[in-house]
Amino acid sequence: MRAFTIEQYGGPDGGRIAEAPDPRVGADDVLVRIHAASVNPLDLRIRDGDFKAILSYRLPLVLGNDFAGVVVQVGPAVTRFEVGDEVYARPDKDRIGTFAELIAVHQDDVAVKPAALTMEEAASLPLVALASWQALIGRAQVQPGQKVLIHAGAGGFGTIAVQLAKEMGAYVATTASAAKVDLVKGLGADVVVDYKNQDFETVLDGYDVVVDTLGGETLEKSLKVLKPGGKIISLAGPPDAAFARELGANPALQLVMSALSLRIRLRAKRRHVSYSFLFMKASGDELRELTMLVDAGKIRPVVDRVFPFDQTREAMEYVEKGRAKSGKVVITMT
């Protein structure tokens, strides 16, 4: 099969389309012919080696973390799917590789594609939709009437998280440029802070939950908008010991991760709020819940641009340089 692979960790010049072995199909696996996959910041970080100390990938590595396609083979123990099913998924972190013609995925990580969506639209959803679900429902347990701040509401994650938070009954604030105010308000945002001309930490106050996708200074400032007892959940900030334990890391690595997040955790504690790092997990069950929301018209994907497979490197560069105006960038295989 053809696949976009990296042979060593490095910058934007790394990666090429090459022939790769067809995936092995286990007893519980479905083999999917991929029609489309989306580009996520996670792909860039994996390419650059940011996670090589904690995610032990063997090189050469096929990149890509979510997809939509058609089942072409099922393992002997598969009960959920049949050949010909249109599906989408975020594979388990140890089985990534969606920038390819084929992928084998455990049936528990796969869901039937939302009926109303194209393959490209469906491919844009799994990683960001699952991250939104796990942040807002799993980690924050957002309740109706609570105030939630979601940073970068026009981005790939933000466009879905804003809709999900609103569907949960939250009062939703987000940050975006002035050009994107109408977009994020159309997705359900109650308050939009123009981050180019306003300091969100001086405009917003008394929030129950902040979901951070930017890290750094934005993460630090976000502590100021939370009320006592509030929660900040970061997809970009420093990992913590709880994340290391989830990975099954050894005690030494747990200590290292705990040290990385010590400063932000202490600052949070002084303000009587909590900090946690989220690295989303594959889940077919949660995707099925999200599919119902999509099919009911409660959540809609936002796709910025679609690239052909032969331009995978260009698609990644487009994301890396922040050229996407809103939503996700998708690669089409067919």
Q: Where are the beta strands (DSSP E) in the chain?
A: 2-6, 16-19, 29-39, 61-62, 67-74, 86-89, 102-106, 110-112, 147-150, 171-176, 191-194, 207-212, 226-234, 274-277, 303-308, 328-332
Give the domain range for residue 200: 127-277
Q: Tell me which residue has tokens 């799917």.
A: 81
What residues of the chain score a pLDDT lower than 70?
none
CB distance 209 to 229 below 8 Å: no
291 within domain boundaries? no
* 257 and 142 together in one domain: yes
Tokens at 310, concatenated: 């032969």
* 48 and 77 together in one domain: yes
- Domain count across the chain: 2
Q: What is the pTM of this model?
A: 0.96
* 199 and 147 together in one domain: yes
The pLDDT value recorded for residue 10 is: 87
The pLDDT value recorded for residue 245 is: 83
Which CATH number fits the domain that encloses residue 105? 3.90.180.10
The pLDDT value recorded for residue 242 is: 85
- As a whole number of angstroms, the distance between CA 304 and CA 330 comes to 8
65 within domain boundaries? yes
- As a whole number of angstroms, the distance between CA 190 and CA 246 comes to 35
296 within domain boundaries? no
The pLDDT value recorded for residue 221 is: 97
Which CATH number fits the domain that encloses residue 142? 3.40.50.720
* 144 and 261 together in one domain: yes
- As a whole number of angstroms, the distance between CA 29 and CA 249 comes to 26
* 31 and 107 together in one domain: yes
284 within domain boundaries? no
- As a whole number of angstroms, the distance between CA 185 and CA 166 comes to 11
Residue among 138, 152, 149 nearest 213 (CA): 152
* 179 and 259 together in one domain: yes
**Helix, strand or coil, per DSSP, at residue 181:** helix
Q: Residue ranges of the alpha helices (H) in the chain?
A: 41-47, 119-123, 126-133, 156-167, 181-187, 200-203, 216-222, 241-247, 251-260, 262-270, 284-295, 312-320
* 151 and 73 together in one domain: no
